[in-house]
Amino acid sequence: MTASFEARRSSSEVKYVIGGLAVDLIPFGGIERPKGSARPSPASEPLSVLAYSSAFAAADEYTFPDGHRIKVVDPLHYAALKLDAWVDRSSYGEYKDASDVRVVFDWFREHPEHIDGAYLGDPSPAERCDWDQALACLWILGSKVAHAIGAANTEAIVAKWDQPNRESLARHLGKPWESVGDLAGAFSEVKAFAEGLQAKIADPTSQ
């Protein structure tokens, strides 16, 4: 398929010019070997594509006035894919995914539906997070991400996203217009999100 497109240099060998735009073509699905990993070409390094199949299946479809249709990843899968990208890219000093994770965090903790959900259950997410509403919303986010991508993908991401990676994300989890945010607050946010992810693994019936 890619033989008919102009290739552009990129670290992962997936960038091509299509219709005048530089876009990434990510291989996933039936060609993953093993599951969650795929190679753009036989000679290239494998790419992590954890949860890509799940994200594609759950994506929202939009139709433009001219009839063209596109699929847009939902916020839960977006968070999972960005987290996995963070683990891979930050290992060689590329930290841009942190600001994308920050956008999801900010959106989720300010959404009325999730604020209401922070006080439901026994124990409620708010109680789990010492009655900090914003952290409770991020705990819910982690739990919902785990539910969306499934147990196997969640366990794989949690295994990759170890404590040093979590600390590194917190250090770079500034606002999109900042390079480094409030460290104490960021560590608490990452911790709450991670605990939500892991709670869903430990108890599939958790919120």
Burial 132-156 (b: 16+ CB within 10 A, else e): bebbbbbbbbbbbbbebbeeebbeb
Question: Can you name the residues that pair with 63 across neighbouring β-strands?
Answer: 69
pLDDT digits (tens, 9 = 90+) for 15-27: 999 989 999 999 9
Question: What pLDDT is attached to residue 58?
Answer: 96
Please tell me whether residue 134 adopts helix, strand or coil conformation: helix
The whole-angstrom separation of Cα 172 and Cα 187 is 10
Across 61-70, 110-119, 130-139, 171-180, least confident range: 171-180
Peptide linkage before 34 cis (omega within 30 of 0): yes
pLDDT digits (tens, 9 = 90+) for 34-93: 999 998 888 888 889 999 999 999 999 999 999 999 999 999 999 999 999 999 888 888
What is the pTM (predicted TM-score) of this model?
A: 0.86
